[in-house]
Amino acid sequence: MDKHLVVIGGTAAGMSAAARARRGDPSLSITVFERTGHITYGSCGLPYYIGDVIKDVNKLITYTPEYMKKERNIDVYTLHDVTDINTQEKYVKVKDLKSGDIFKQPYTQLVIATGAIPVVPKILGVEHKNIFTLRNVEDGLRIKELLSSGRVKRAAILGAGFIGLEVSEALRNWGIEVTVFEMLPAILPQIDEEFAILVEDELQKNSVKLYKNTKVVEFQASDENVIKILTEDGRTFESDMVIASVGVKPSTALARNANISIGPLDGIAVDKYMRTSAPYVWAAGDCTETYNLVTRKPAYLPLGTTANKQGKIAGENVVGGSAAFPGILGTQVTKIFDTYVASTGLNEMSAKDAGIAAVSAKIVHTDKASYYPGSKYIHTKIVLDKNTAKIIGAQMTGSEGIGKRIDVFATAITAGMTAYQLNELDLAYAPPVSPVYDPVLIAASAGIKELEKA
């Protein structure tokens, strides 16, 4: 048969793979199957859509199936669910969710980009119609429809990670009462507790109620719309809607059923070329495990940036390339009300868990020259390998200027730089942009002092 690439999944990794393969081989037949009704959408923008910062959901959608066919000659089928992969006979079984028809699609090469699925907490009553997860466009549409109805005066969020807290701001935009429940003693596991406390202050300032160390054990429908929330310690709360944001897990059922190897963290195991254990089958994005550049161990850190990069590498290699994905640091940044939060690499706890002897330093400094109007304080923490002086992690909170600064730390970690080398970087300076000594350099200097005391 003629060469035919089949891609399972039409969002970040899947469409990146298909587009890259098309550039590499203009004659290749390419078919993409996506089980939802939309492709190439910015799922990271969904909290801003439900918060009405973005009015039109179509602004989040980069391309349509019609565009991909006309401009890229890629056949994209939405509402088509791949239900089985046969790696021996090289075909996938597909169900058309509109008609119910089931058919086989042969392939010569296959990319699995099934993404991640929300973790739905095993709580009695979680099936209530006003309890949601937020993962795709359809979820966003349902949530915003309920918010727009005017029936929601109180909302609850389960989970105080980046997404849960972004959603808290989105819901406060509607002027409703917001309560966040977190099972753990601290919010935002990506950052150390003293930084998480700064974010808690921002939540309190914006009238978000936060209950840490609080496990929700049951939902009860007191009437058609009101949900009673019961906690393990015997308290009862009421809400008009609940958004569960307790994490995601890799969508690997198809791969498992096809006897494709699964890694220790339950993602599809791939090598640096995004190849799976099955011949002619690649995988990319949130369904896969990757490699942590600091710990040098498998990692599962589902991020849109990673998915797009991995998809491109898979697509290039499908058509004969040899591109390699080096690994990740899990670099992240977000805005929670008026505070920005960013992290890269390891925090102190994850360094300890990885068996790395670490020292850290914290500094507070302005993001601009202190005399320049509008200057704000940035809190920065640098984490260093005690034995090598290499930078292994950083965290920042403060103004929007932390976004690019965390990228400097990520670059330094990737390059294997020490605190001494980071301290010598020639960084840009102008009073409206940065102090003479940027917070990155001040943190490096503070880290050196800690190293020399250790």
The residues annotated with a catalytic role in the active site are 44
The CA-based diameter of the chain, rounded to the nearest angstrom, is 70
The two structure tokens encoding residue 107: 């392939």
**Closest among 70, 211, 209, 45 to 134, alpha carbons compared:** 45
Q: Are 351 and 329 in contact (CB under 8 A)?
A: no
Q: If DSSP codes are grouped into helix, strand and coil, which group holds residue 217?
A: strand
Q: What angle do CA 312, 313, 319 make, to 5 degrees?
A: 95
Residue 315 has which token pair? 């697509």
- How many Cα atoms are found within 13 Å in the side-chain-facing hemisphere of 83? 12
**391-398 and 339-345: which strand pairing?**
antiparallel
- Chain position carrying tokens 């849960």: 164
Q: Extract the tokens encoding 446.
A: 């503070």
Say if CB 226 and CB 240 are below 8 A apart: yes
Q: Is residue 189 a contact partner of residue 161, using CB atoms and an 8 Å limit? A: yes
Whether 237 contacts 156, CB under 8 Å: yes
What CA–CA distance (Å, rounded) separates 77 from 38?
10
Which amino acid makes up residue 416? G
Neighbours of 365 (CB within 10 A): 21
For residues 119 and 382, what is the distance between their CA atoms, to the nearest angstrom?
32
Rounded Cα–Cα distance for residues 92 and 106 (Å): 6
What residue type is assigned to position 207 of the chain? Answer: S
Contacts of residue 103, defined as CB under 8 A and 6 or more positions apart, other chains included, come to: 93, 94, 96
β-bridge mates for residue 361, sequence order: 382
CB neighbour list of residue 42: distance below 8 Å, 6 or more residues apart: 60, 61, 62, 304
Q: How far is CA 155 from CA 40, 113, 224, 238, in A?
A: 29, 33, 15, 9
| Alpha-helical segments (H) within 25-98 | 46-50, 65-72
